[in-house]
Amino acid sequence: MTKKIKNWSAYNQALIQRGNIAIWLSDDAIQQWQTAEKHGGRGRSNKYTDF
């Protein structure tokens, strides 16, 4: 069963938004993610987030 599209502007906007993945993080989560404590060498830091 197919539906007839009546509102083409809304349909086109929905197609554009299809690939949009918006992720909202709180300021607290961002601060926990960005740690100032580094190990001084190359690569990943020693502190990992727990959320």
d(CA 30, CA 49): 10
What pLDDT is attached to residue 7? 93
Instruction: Quick: pLDDT tens for 3-45.
Output: 888 999 999 998 888 887 888 888 887 777 776 565 666 776 6
Put residue 40 in one of left, alpha, beta given phi > 0 → left and psi -120 to 50 → alpha: left
What pLDDT is attached to residue 30? 79
